[in-house]
Amino acid sequence: MYRIIRYYSGLSLIVIISSLTVNAQDQKPILKIADEHYDRYEYKLAIPFYERLVKRKNVKTVLLEKLASSYLGINNYQKSAELYKLIITRSDANPISYLNYGDMLKSTGNYTKAKEIYSLYKQKGIIDVTARVAGSDSAAVWLSKPTSDHISNLKAVNTPSSEWGAVPGRDNTIIFTSDSLRYTLFDKKDKPNKNIYNRTGRSFQKLYTYTAGEQSAIKQFSKTINDFKYHAGPVVFSEDQQTAYFTITNTYPIPHKKDKVRNFYGSRRLELYSSRFKDGQWQTPVPFAFNGASNFSVGHAALSKDGNILYFASDMPGGIGKTDIWYSEKASDGSWGTPKNCGPVINTTEDEEFPTIAADVLYFSSKGHAGMGGFDIFSSQGQKDQWSVALNQRTPLNSQGDDFYLVMKDQTSGYFASNRPGGAGDDDIYTYNKQVILPVVPEKPVAPPVISPVIPVVVVKKPKKGEKFIIHYDFDQSKIRPDASLILDSLAGLMHKYPQMSIRLSSYTDSRGKVAYNIALSQKRAKTALTYLLSKGVSAQRFKTKGYGKIHLLNDCKNGINCTEKEHQVNRRTEIVIVSI
């Protein structure tokens, strides 16, 4: 897969035009050759040179860090983890090496050790690792209690290379993306691009069609689309299968800079295109009006059922994190409107990518929400910038690796991609079947004891800056209760009446449970309250949210203190404070 990450992960393509001859390059020092490949993100080419260098005496830490980063760049998490283990024993290790080591441990399933390294990083770095720690805690629980869903490797299409982005096509076909360059499947008159993508050492990704049961089951999807010089795919179709929206790496001349040895560097990024199916073939592709390849990437399109909302991933300015999910609405004349951010319920300060739509459910992959590995698959209901709390789909759909691009072909089955251990190659396509279990209703349901909350009075006069309202939650829950909805409804009304009013939501738990778990729970409570207010038509820009876990207790019910449930109830809360009016 190739992704959208600001510092690079694949949705930018660094190219080089060198005026040096091969013989001249052979005369360069090994370090210079290695660094040039590294600076161009050609990790597959950089690795053998760095491997030679680190075998020498007195190797510098920075060389080890570049080698570890290169292995990370080609998704060899095990080798990267081994190198970072060595690196953090050195006094001059960059703090980010601790964070990367924790991530590699998490991506190889060593959650206990990952938490230990994240704790060390917190003493050195500035990036918040709360979600990473919470994900490590949750992973242990989810692995012990997997869902009843079923997954299976789609062996008919997977190779030792990378296959992903499977979507249902016309006539029971599957369209998917692959970098295995099956050029023998192209028409003899076609001349596929046999150039190598030096980040991975494999070909550029192209689109293919798979039809089960046919002798020649895999074919080139479209010469028109695959003729783009670099990456082409993934693709998504309109409901009538007559319009395709797909991602490509831009091919036109790009701005570049020259270094001292006359190498020219420039960045290629991703763009969205669309094409209509007419007269038995896909027509000339049309670029999305808001592509911005000179400054940012736009890719991974998803389409609402009625075709009027286009979702996509981008690192365009104005986002919340490194990469966000955005949307654009179709106007009456068929043009697409200015992109808008899907908001803080979906997007975090990290990466959110690979959106897909099934009815009113958004599936996407995230590194910022609490997850089991690198990218985890999440779901949320809603549309545009109003969404329910993002839910981790847990194992077996998610794993210690990267899990992404879940596409549902009906209500209970679909396809997704993963680089988890045990696959055929780097990224593999898997089938997914959701098990629907009907609840067993007992003959005489026993209702749990209900704690009657004290409902604060919501003012009807003009609110004041600093005024506070409190809502409460049931034990280990983030659901908005009826008593809380009354308060939130009143607040939403006030915010509509006073359009300059902004508020801060601070959420807490009681003292029971682990610190990391409680922080994650409090964050979920803050998001749930925010989502409720957003559903009332209040703009997301008017809110600030944070979950604090079990600090700032309102009474003496600390760990080890015997308290009643009513006393614990006081601490399970979201405090809503008016910041401006």
Q: Are 64 and 291 in contact (CB under 8 A)?
A: no
- State the Rg of the chain over Cα: 26
- According to CATH, the topology of domain 150-433 is Neuraminidase (2.120.10)
Mutual orientation of helices 130-144 and 515-534 as an angle, nearest 10°? 100
What's at 199, amino acid-wise?
R
Superfamily of domain 468-580, CATH level 4: OmpA-like domain (3.30.1330.60)
Tokens of 471: 């809502």
Q: What is the pLDDT along the chain (581 residues), one digit of tens a residue?
A: 554 432 223 334 444 433 333 344 444 689 999 998 998 888 999 999 999 999 999 999 999 999 999 999 999 999 999 999 999 999 999 999 999 999 999 999 999 999 999 999 999 999 989 889 989 998 988 999 899 999 999 999 999 999 999 999 988 899 999 988 665 555 555 565 567 777 787 888 999 999 987 767 888 898 899 888 889 999 999 999 999 999 998 776 655 555 555 454 556 789 999 999 999 899 999 999 999 988 899 999 999 999 999 999 999 999 999 999 999 999 999 999 999 999 988 999 999 999 999 988 999 999 999 999 999 999 999 999 998 888 899 999 999 999 999 999 998 999 999 999 999 989 999 999 987 655 555 554 445 444 444 434 344 457 888 888 999 999 999 988 888 887 887 888 788 777 788 999 999 999 998 998 999 999 999 998 998 888 777 778 889 999 999 999 999 898 878 899 888 999 999 999 999 98
223, containing H or E segment: helix 223-226
DSSP state of 542: G
For the chain, which residues make up each domain, given as ranges? 12-144, 150-433, 468-580
pLDDT score of 436: 63
Residues paired with 301 in a beta bridge: none
Q: Are 134 and 111 in contact (CB under 8 A)?
A: no
DSSP readout, 52-86?
A: HHTTSTT--HHHHHHHHHHHHHTT-HHHHHHHHHH
Mutual orientation of helices 482-497 and 515-534 as an angle, nearest 10°? 50
pLDDT score of 182: 62
What's the Cα-to-Cα distance from 218 to each of 187, 199, 221, 460, 506, rounded to whole Å?
A: 13, 26, 9, 66, 53
CA–CA separation, 534 vs 496, rounded Å? 12
Please say whether the dihedral angle defined by the alpha carbons of residues 155, 159, 161 and 162, taken in this order, is positive or negative: negative
Phi, psi of 203 (to 5 degrees): -75, 170
* Cβ burial, residue 405 (10 Å; 0-12/13-18/19+): buried
What's the Cα-to-Cα distance from 114 to each of 24, 136, 514, rounded to whole Å?
A: 45, 8, 16
- pTM of this structure: 0.72
What's at 558, amino acid-wise?
K
DSSP readout, 401-462?
A: S-EEEEEESSSSEEEEEE--TTSSSSSEEEEEE----PPPPPSS--PPP------PPPP-S-
What's at 211, amino acid-wise?
T
**CATH node for 12-144:** 1.25.40.10
CA–CA separation, 10 vs 145, rounded Å? 34
Residues paired with 326 in a beta bridge: 312, 341
